[in-house]
Structure 1
Amino acid sequence: MLKEKQLEDIRILQEECERGEFTLKLNWETLRSRNGVHQNDFFHYVGSNLAGFLGLYDFGNKIEMCGMVHPDFRRQGIFTNMLEEAIGSAMKRENKLIILNSPAQSPSGKGFLAQVPCQLAFSEYQMKWSQMELGEYEDVVIRPSRRNDEQTEILLDIHCFHFTEKEARDYYQRILYEDTLKTMMIEKDGRAVGKIRVDNSGGEAWIYGFSILPEYQGRGLGRKVLKKLVAEQSQLGYDIFLEVEATNDHALKLYESCGFKTIQRQDYYRYEGLK
């Protein structure tokens, strides 16, 4: 579990590295709920100041990595050393695909990854909702997840996100401890047929894990669910964000039709140094 000072140090370093030009994907909801089972966080201090940080994020069959080095301490081997440690930690876990993440607008990130054995795997759009008339959604039922929804949540991650059953069960257990992340179940005719997760922190609402069982897709249910959740979060005063892979054209069009606009892109590189 990370200490409050460590979290504050990461926040300060993130501000120094971004400077309004891009956003590093540090998965704050995960950082705040580390359980200490694996070594997932790597720090480099210069005196009392944090000069470098790299975090590992275990998502089912893959481990994502994202990190940063203060502009004043770059080209000193700091990130290379942290990455070597992180790769060592990731290799101790079973059959994990290692993915390195960098904002598309980060020249330093792209420059570093050009020297690493990796290939661009996919890109992800980060989108923000703009005020618009949402239309009808009143007949949709969304409720908080309960413990007896566990099997449905696991099935959704298997069918919609291609997790293995073990990966889906492990992921379900891990996110139970993410305090700011809420899972909502989507019901149709009294049956839970989908889920959508929202993380509320820092005046922002981030939507994750939006999925509906295959036999209930293509009926307009997803559009109504998204509209209802966006309306609720907007009324609570949150700025609303979500992420979608660039290859998921159907989801991208759905989000755009509900008022979401792309604000930046994250690039994900498959690490190939394990061959």
Structure 2
Amino acid sequence: MLTAEQRKAIHGLQQIVEKEDVIQLKLNWDMLASENRSVNRPEDYFHYDANGRLLGFLAIYQFGDKVECCGMVDPMARRQGIAQKLFNEAVKDWETASQFLINTPVLSSSGASFCEANGANYAFTEHQLVCSELPIPYTKTGVKIRPAVANDEKMILQFDEDGFGLTKKEAKSLYSSRGTQGTYMIEEHGEPVGKLRLDRQKKESWIYGFVLMKAKRGKGIGRAALTDIVHREVSNDKTVWLDVAVDNEAALSLYKTCGFTADGAQAYYAYK
């Protein structure tokens, strides 16, 4: 588990890098804040200067046998091999992963260059979408959202397996740190037809893992559910964020009807 001091240092470095490079890093703060962080094997890699100031950080995010990584280096400390050092340490610890993805903002030329220099091949890109204004109200009879309970776990895992092509092991790994906390069930006339996960931070709320049963898509259920939860978060002075694959036109269209607009993108590179 990361200490409060470590989280503060990471957040401070993130602000410096994002301001300098005019980008937004995807650091998955819900996973960084997990109590089970780095319990079984290293997931966070640090580089400090002689005065104890954090100059470089790289995080590993595990999804079953697959992993993603995202890193950053203080602009004043670049070209010193810090990023390569941290990446080499992570690769050594996670060399048995079935898939190793490097995440970098599309607008980060240094990030793309680093991936290519390490022989990683471009895999895919995700839009980052944001909503900071109340969406146009939209309701559908019989549709509601409720917090998930322990008895929903089997259904939640099934939604992830069917909707995202995950194995049971990969799906379970998404909830290993906090169970169903933050997960919401989408119901139609009292029957679960989908779910999503919400990570609330001080000024932001991130939506993850939104999925509906195939038979229930295109019927206005997703729009009603998303509009409901986004309205709640924005009403509480939150800016709401989510990611969507650039080739998923149906999802992109749905999110736009719920008040989201594109604000940056994240590229993923596959490292062998």
TM-score > 0.5, shorter chain as reference: yes
Aligned to 1:120: 122
Q: Map 1:228-267; keep pairs closer than 5 Å.
A: 228-267=228-267
Aligned to 2:171: 168
Aligned to 2:14: 14
Q: CA RMSD in A?
A: 1.7
Aligned to 1:71: 75
TM-score of the superposition, structure 1-length normalised?
0.92
For residue 175 of structure 1, report the CA deviation from its aligned partner.
Answer: 4.1
Structure 1 counterpart of 2:133, from 131, 134, 141: 131
Q: Map 1:1-275; keep pairs closer than 5 Å.
A: 1-19=1-19, 21-35=22-36, 36-47=39-50, 48-93=52-97, 96-131=98-133, 133-137=135-139, 139=141, 140-176=143-179, 182-272=182-272
SS of the equivalent of 1:135 reads coil
For residue 197 of structure 1, report the CA deviation from its aligned partner.
Answer: 1.3
The amino acid that maps onto 1:106 is S
In 2, distance between residues paired with 1:34 and 1:120? 32
In 2, distance between residues paired with 1:133 and 1:164? 35
In 2, distance between residues paired with 1:170 and 1:240? 24
SS of the equivalent of 1:91 reads coil
For residue 112 of structure 1, report the CA deviation from its aligned partner.
Answer: 1.6
In 1, distance between residues paired with 2:102 and 2:191? 38
In 1, distance between residues paired with 2:236 and 2:83? 40
SS of the equivalent of 2:177 reads helix
Cα offsets for 1:32-82 (capped at 9, x unmatched): 115112210001111211111000011245211000111121111111111
SS of the equivalent of 1:111 reads helix
For residue 250 of structure 1, report the CA deviation from its aligned partner.
Answer: 0.7
Unaligned runs of 5+ in 2: none
- 1:28/1:247 CA distance change after superposition, 3 Å: same
- 1:111/1:34 CA distance change after superposition, 3 Å: farther
SS of the equivalent of 2:230 reads helix
In 2, distance between residues paired with 1:191 and 1:138? 14
For residue 138 of structure 1, report the CA deviation from its aligned partner.
Answer: 5.7
Unaligned runs of 5+ in 1: none
The amino acid that maps onto 2:67 is I
Count of residues paired in the alignment: 267
In 2, distance between residues paired with 1:188 and 1:82? 47
Deviates more, 1:240-249 or 1:106-115: 106-115
- 1:58/1:34 CA distance change after superposition, 3 Å: farther
- 1:270/1:194 CA distance change after superposition, 3 Å: same
In 2, distance between residues paired with 1:176 and 1:42? 25
TM-score of the superposition, structure 2-length normalised?
0.93
* Percent of aligned pairs with the same amino acid: 38
In 1, distance between residues paired with 2:132 and 2:233? 13
For residue 8 of structure 1, report the CA deviation from its aligned partner.
Answer: 1.0
User: After the TM superposition, which segments of 4 or more aligned residues of structure 1 sit over 6 Å from their partners?
Assistant: none
In 2, distance between residues paired with 1:131 and 1:45? 40
The amino acid that maps onto 1:122 is F
2:60 and 2:67 in contact (8 A); partners too: yes
